[in-house]
Amino acid sequence: MAHHKATVKQLDGITFAGKTDSNHWIMMDGPEEFGGSNAGIRPKELLMISLGGCTGSDVASILKKKRIKLDGFEMNISAESTDDHPKVYTKMNIEYVFYGQDIKESDVERAIELSQTKYCGVTAMFDKAMEITHTFRIEEKK
């Protein structure tokens, strides 16, 4: 079993810096009205970015192995949360957007399916707590 560590340090009020085994620091903060200085991303927002980074890495890698050339690739992630505390995410949607010529929908669908059902650990964890949906579109350059 693999073990992972993170260190999170308070800098001031609710401004924190954290790093993990990869030794990269990230700032987290809250709005000024809650004691923050608005100097970093909100901790819960990192969950959306984690999902995008995990599945995006899978999809990009799978398409590269299939020799699919992309001119660009991005994901738009939206989340719904409860109104009452604890305000937790109840649903996330990933819109995958691929840019390029001659990209087959079937290749994209398969890459997303493999990420969502086999490879992405973040999806596997989040799937136990909320609904995760996805859509995709291919934008061809003219």
| pLDDT tops 70 at residue 142 | no
Q: Please tell me the predicted confidence (pLDDT) of residue 105.
A: 97
Q: Is the domain of 65 the same as that of 11? A: no
The reply to whether 36 and 70 lie within a common domain is no
Same domain, 86 and 20: no
Radius of gyration over alpha carbons of the chain, in Å?
18
CATH of the domain at 129: 3.30.300.20
Residues in the chain: 142
Give me the percent of the chain exceeding a pLDDT of 70.
99
What is the number of domains present in the chain? 2
Q: Are residues 33 and 90 in the same domain?
A: no
Global confidence as pTM: 0.91
Residues 69 and 83 in one domain: yes
Do residues 32 and 50 both lie within one domain?
no
Cα-flanking dihedrals φ and ψ of residue 97, to 5°?
Answer: -125, 120
Q: Which DSSP category does 41 fall into?
A: B
- Both 24 and 65 in a single domain? no
- Give the structural domain span for 7: 1-41
Instruction: Give the pLDDT of residue 141.
Output: 73
Question: Domain check: are 52 and 14 in the same one?
Answer: no
Residue keyed to tokens 């991303």: 41
How do residues 107-139 score in pLDDT, each as one tens digit? 999 999 999 999 999 999 999 999 999 999 999
| Spatial contact of 139 and 99, defined as CB atoms under 8 Å apart | yes
107 and 58 in a common domain: yes
Mean pLDDT over each residue of the chain, to the nearest integer:
96
| Percent of the chain topping pLDDT 90 | 97
Whether residues 133 and 94 fall in one domain: yes
pLDDT tens profile 22-55:
999 999 999 999 999 999 999 999 999 999 999 9
- Name 101's Cβ contacts closer than 8 Å, sequence gap at least 6: 69, 71, 140, 141
Nearest Cα residue to 137 out of 72, 90, 49: 72
Tell whether 69 and 94 lie within a shared domain.
yes
Tokens linked to 49:
């970015």
